[in-house]
Structure 1
């Protein structure tokens, strides 16, 4: 399992949390998602055999949330 933290542009409403968490939790290979609203960060854990950090970033972009940076561990 890999972990990644994505720094997003400022999140403007609490409904963003549900939208991001719902979409990513349905994404194959993503095992956990936590949105840190006040920090505009998304913490994920994923199976790198099924999806990459770049794949998660693409999903976030498609949802309308530009990724400013990512940290994978």
Structure 2
């Protein structure tokens, strides 16, 4: 398992943060995802053998947000 903390660019609202968490948690290989609206940071715990960081970035991108390391 790996854990990453990534910045979400231009996070608009607390509900948006919750939506990102929910969508990520539905992905196979993601054990946990927490988004802080206050800091604009995503903490994600995942299995790199199942899902990689690029896939996580693409998933968040489909929601209209960009991740930065």
Do they fold alike, i.e. is TM over 0.5?
Answer: yes
For residues 7-65 of structure 1, the C-alpha deviation after alignment (integer angstroms, 9 at most, x for no partner) is 11132211112210110000110000110111111100001110011110110111111
**1:41 aligned onto 2:41:** yes
The aligned length equals: 69
Query: What is aligned with 2:53?
Result: 53
Unaligned runs of 5+ in 2: none
Runs of 4 or more, structure 1, over 4 Å off, are none
C-alpha displacement at 1:3, in angstroms?
0.8
| Within-5 A mapping of 1:1-73 | 1-67=1-67, 69-70=68-69
**CA RMSD for the aligned pairs?**
0.9
**Aligned mates of 2:6, 2:27 — CA distance in 1:** 16
